[in-house]
Amino acid sequence: MAERIIEDILIVSRRQDVTRLVLETLAARAVRGTVVDGIVAAAKRLGDRDWRLVLAELDGDVAAAAELMARVRAVHPELPVVMIAADDSVQTAVGAMRAGCRDVIEPPVTREKLESVLNAYAPSHAVPLAASGAADARRPYRIAGQSRRLRETIALAEKVAATSLPVLITGESGTGKELISRMIHDRSRRSSEPFVAVNCGAMSESLLESELFGHERGAFTGAHARRVGRFEQAHGGTLLLDEVSETSPRLQAELLRVLEQQYFERVGGSDAVDVNVRVISTSNRNLARDVEQGAFRRDLYYRLGGVQISVVPLRERIDDIAPLVWHFVNSFAGEVGRNIEQLDEEMLVAFRSYAWPGNVRQLRNVVRTALALGKGPTLSLAGVPALWSELRCPQPRNMSTLSLAELERSAIYEALRRTEAHQAKAAELLGITDRTLREKLRRYKRDGYAPPDAFGRTGERQWATA
């Protein structure tokens, strides 16, 4: 499944010819746009979702452009706005840029000009997706990748989604546990009901108790009104207890009681509040070990872990690195208006050998920094020497967690990269026959492993055979 951008280009225009051309250009890229006919209408739609770009045709009215920018900044301060000018005067262009527009399309408006703007501010590079959806209309989720380990995780999550079983998702910080939980909700029978998340590790015990269960007026100093808690907000839907391992023993007992009885009392109250909630929990710790050490309640552990899903770290699924980089280019290139056409091969080699202690979250931040501080159509770390030094330093890798088949596949892909995808030379480097290498590559393809992204994009170069 390739990434398809969900309706996220806002078009402000009253001219039918311009609107038609913009929509046709978006349709050719498999992107849908939303058209509104003025600033007031645009303002009403700005809060609907995380828009990627605003294209505004305002009859050259610089004052209107300034008003639109003020409304945009109030909701999405970093959202790029590109003005479609009614004339090619320098005054209009300068006025639009001073108002805060990132760019100006001067007349005549052509598909080529629109494509150039879209490539810079709303790129749509093809990215293989393991899963995608819209659990939250404002925050559609996309899980980019193609590795076997990721596909196995997604398959298990899809299987359990149709049930009402509680789910415990474990994995290192930054691996995407919350995305998996959103996918489970989106594929469940509760998908039309709320998805509510609470970070259990970010609050004190008393604040978390109030956050989960709500409180009555006067329950404590500062409680001036009744507050509905996250359990009530999630009634009929799904509640995500993010980093549940960080809860105190007292709150663990409260959680167990609510999960078993499906009712609770607000803090400072005595009336029972009935709820019907599916609970998904996440933890970056080994909860089974915490249970044995007495750091987590055994009965709550069994209650939360009806099904357990483990999300493997990024260093154990290097086949996902290049797709993730392109996914983040799609997401963040618009912040700086860079049209990225290829990925630096030396950077990719460094990425594949790095241990990524911060996992996908760290990779996202590295790509975002490289986009902001670099220049030109090739994404590299040349403009970020500190990051380049860090990523090239030897990192401890837990090789015992990799199977022999995974090590073999990594070695074959590395040989192909070193020989510029020349199979005969790669086989010689590996000390195997051409026939053996071809058979292994056919098996990888049959098992769903795409060739490595050796020259910037998956699938753009055929493997050389002579």
Q: Do domains 129-310 and 315-392 have the same CATH topology?
A: no
* One-letter amino acid of 158: E
- Give the model's pLDDT for residue 393: 66
Distances (CA, A) of 384 to 322, 372, 388, 406: 19, 10, 6, 31
Q: Where are the beta strands (DSSP E) in 342-430?
A: 342-343, 378-379
Consecutive H or E run containing 282: strand 278-283
Q: Is 395 left (phi over 0), alpha (psi -120 to 50) or beta?
A: beta
Residue carrying structure tokens 């009935």: 274
Higher pLDDT, 139 or 408: 408
- Give the model's pLDDT for residue 223: 65
Q: Which residues contact 124 (CB under 8 A, 6 or more apart)?
A: 3, 5, 29, 30, 31, 118, 330
Q: Is residue 390 pLDDT above 90, yes or no?
A: no
Q: Is residue 7 pLDDT above 60, yes or no?
A: no
Sign of the Cα torsion 64, 69, 75, 80 reads positive
| 195-212 per-position pLDDT tens digit | 999 999 888 888 898 889
Mean pLDDT of 37-44: 92
- Give the model's pLDDT for residue 464: 42
- Give the model's pLDDT for residue 6: 52
Closest alpha carbon to 188 in 310, 279, 258: 279
Q: Which residues contact 192 (CB under 8 A, 6 or more apart)?
A: none
- Give the model's pLDDT for residue 180: 96
CATH architecture, domain 315-392: Orthogonal Bundle (1.10)
- Give the model's pLDDT for residue 466: 35
Mean pLDDT of 208-222: 78
Mean pLDDT of 167-173: 96
Higher pLDDT, 456 or 47: 47
* One-letter amino acid of 60: G
Q: Is residue 338 pLDDT above 80, yes or no?
A: yes
133: number of Cβ within 10 Å: 17
- Give the model's pLDDT for residue 457: 37
- Give the model's pLDDT for residue 361: 94
Domain range summary for the chain, segments of one domain joined by +: 9-121, 129-310, 315-392
Mean pLDDT of 131-148: 78
56: number of Cβ within 10 Å: 25
Q: Is 332 left (phi over 0), alpha (psi -120 to 50) or beta?
A: alpha
Closest alpha carbon to 83 in 112, 111, 53, 47: 53
| 69-112 per-position pLDDT tens digit | 999 999 999 899 999 998 878 888 888 899 899 999 999 999 99
Q: From the options 3.40.50.720, 3.40.50.300, 3.40.1080.20, 3.30.70.20, give the CATH code of 129-310.
A: 3.40.50.300
Mean pLDDT of 428-440: 79
Q: Which of 159-163, 383-387, 389-393 has the lowest mean pLDDT?
A: 389-393
- Per mean pLDDT, which of 2-11, 227-236, 399-408 is the most reliable? 227-236
Q: How far out from the chain centre does Cα 266 lie? A: 34
pLDDT band at 385 (very low <50, low <70, confident <90, very high): confident
Percentage of the chain exceeding pLDDT 90: 57
Three-state DSSP at 377 gives coil
Q: Is 218 left (phi over 0), alpha (psi -120 to 50) or beta?
A: left
Please provide the size of the chain in residues. 466
Q: Is residue 465 pLDDT above 50, yes or no?
A: no
The mean pLDDT value of the chain amounts to 86
What pairs with residue 103 in β-bridges? 82
pLDDT band at 430 (very low <50, low <70, confident <90, very high): confident
Alpha carbons 424 and 405: distance in angstroms, whole number: 21
Q: What are phi and psi of 202, to 5 degrees?
A: -100, 0
- Give the model's pLDDT for residue 279: 96
Q: Which residues contact 22 (CB under 8 A, 6 or more apart)?
A: 11, 13, 33, 55, 114
CATH architecture, domain 9-121: 3-Layer(aba) Sandwich (3.40)
- Give the model's pLDDT for residue 395: 53
pTM value?
Answer: 0.79
| 348-371 per-position pLDDT tens digit | 999 998 999 999 999 999 999 999
